[in-house]
Chains A and B, each alone.
Chain A
Amino acid sequence: MASIRPEAQYATLEQQTETAQLGMWAFLATEVLFFGALIFGYYIYRIAYTDQFILAGHDAKLVLGSINTALLLTSSVTMVAAIELIKRNEARRAATALYLTALLGIAFLGVKGYEYLQDYYDHTVPVLDFVLKPHQQPPVELFWLFYFVATGLHALHLTIGIVAVLILAAHTRSGRYSAAYHSPIEVLGLYWSFVDVVWLFLFAAIYPIGRAG
């Protein structure tokens, strides 16, 4: 328990933890604008080319997207479980919850990879292999461009999250964190759930369209 004392610039551990959390929130505010601009652009084109975007959305893999949404929502539960467990000084169980969180994240990437492969077989990958189907016009390619840029950036964020969770899981298992000090887990939990929030908006934009009628 060497790290139980706060760093020199803080009066208490609580102040240090609070500062770290606010730092993550400040970073997340920039992420809100980053993904916000992307999603804003999507809706502008969705309104401009409504019919074509509905035609394009029909080919998005709703089942795979839904499974992935459920996986991420579940991973947010295991993430907060890790925080609650370390607050009770149950380091081993907290580490298990973190490993489970990373596993759910990896499962998401696995499903996503399989989905990309299906998209490739469907000739919906701009630049690589893109073929317009009957009644489709060029704005359909815009939809798929958004799809790959947005889900790709999201997957990159998730990959960073998985690596960080695995590192913290190892640290937790080795007894570095306790009820008194577990600030990194709390801060990473914010990042993890935020990546979850981003996905919820991407899901709404990409998957549940083009099915009616």
Chain B
Amino acid sequence: MLIPYLIAWVVLIGLLGLSIFTAYLPLGHFHPLANFGIAVVQAAIVLAIFMRLKDPPAIKWVFAGAGFFWLLFLFGIGVIDYLTRAGFPS
């Protein structure tokens, strides 16, 4: 019964290793992107398996998705200022 969770744990620890490994690679500006990307994959695994989003009822998706939906607005509208303001940082 715990096998799927243990497989997920092994993958998550593997991704942690990958994240540590990327720290020592000369990735330049892609560093934050690589680390954030790995965190997104890890979070998706935790949400789907440990938080059982993959199981019914599907209405859980509406509630779980709402937070991330509004986060898009927060990020989207938040970033407009910085993308359009000349000379940031001053």
| Residue positions of A touching B, CB distance < 8 A | 18, 21-22, 25-26, 28-33, 36-37, 40, 43-44, 46-50, 54, 62, 66, 69-70, 73-74, 76-77, 79-81, 84, 88, 189-190, 193-194, 196-197, 200-201, 203-205, 207-213
Given contacts A33-B71, A33-B74, A36-B75, contact A212 B51 (CB under 8 A): no
Residues 62-89 of chain B: 1 if any A CB is under 8 Å from the residue's CB, otherwise 0? 0110111011001100110010000011
Check if A204 sits within 8 Å of B59, measured CB to CB: no
Decide: A44 near B82, CB < 8 A? Known: A32-B68, A62-B20, A208-B20: yes
CA distance A120 to B79 in the complex (A): 33
B46–A193 contact, CB under 8 A?
A: yes
Say whether, besides A25-B64, A73-B16, A76-B50, A81 and B35 are in contact (CB < 8 Å): no
The closest CB in chain A to the CB of B43 belongs to A197
Q: Residue B60 at the A interface, CB < 8 A?
A: yes
Nearest residue in B to A83 (C-beta to C-beta)? B52
In the complex, A123→B26 CA distance in Å? Answer: 27
From B16, which residue of chain A is reached at the shortest CB distance?
A: A69
Known A-B contacts: A77-B9, A208-B31. Give 17 more (CB < 8 A). A22-B59, A36-B67, A40-B74, A40-B75, A66-B16, A69-B16, A73-B9, A73-B13, A80-B5, A84-B1, A189-B50, A193-B47, A200-B43, A204-B32, A209-B32, A212-B25, A212-B27
Interface size on B, residues (CB 8 A): 46
Q: In whole angstroms, what is the CA distance A59 to B41 when docked?
A: 26
| CA–CA, A70 and B22, complex, Å | 17
Known A-B contacts A26-B63, A29-B66, A66-B16; A204 and B36 likewise in contact (beta carbons under 8 Å): yes
The answer for the CA separation of A84 and B5 in the assembled complex, in Å, is 11
Using a CB-CB cutoff of 8 Å, which residues 34-55 of chain B contact chain A?
35-36, 38-39, 42-43, 46-47, 50-51
A80, B88: Cα distance in complex, Å: 46
For A29, give its contact among B25, B47, B64, B78 (CB under 8 Å): B64
Chain A nearest Cβ from B17, distance in angstroms: 9
Nearest residue, chain A, Cβ from B25: A212
User: Which residue in B26, B32, B42, B50 is a CB contact (below 8 Å) of A212?
Assistant: B26
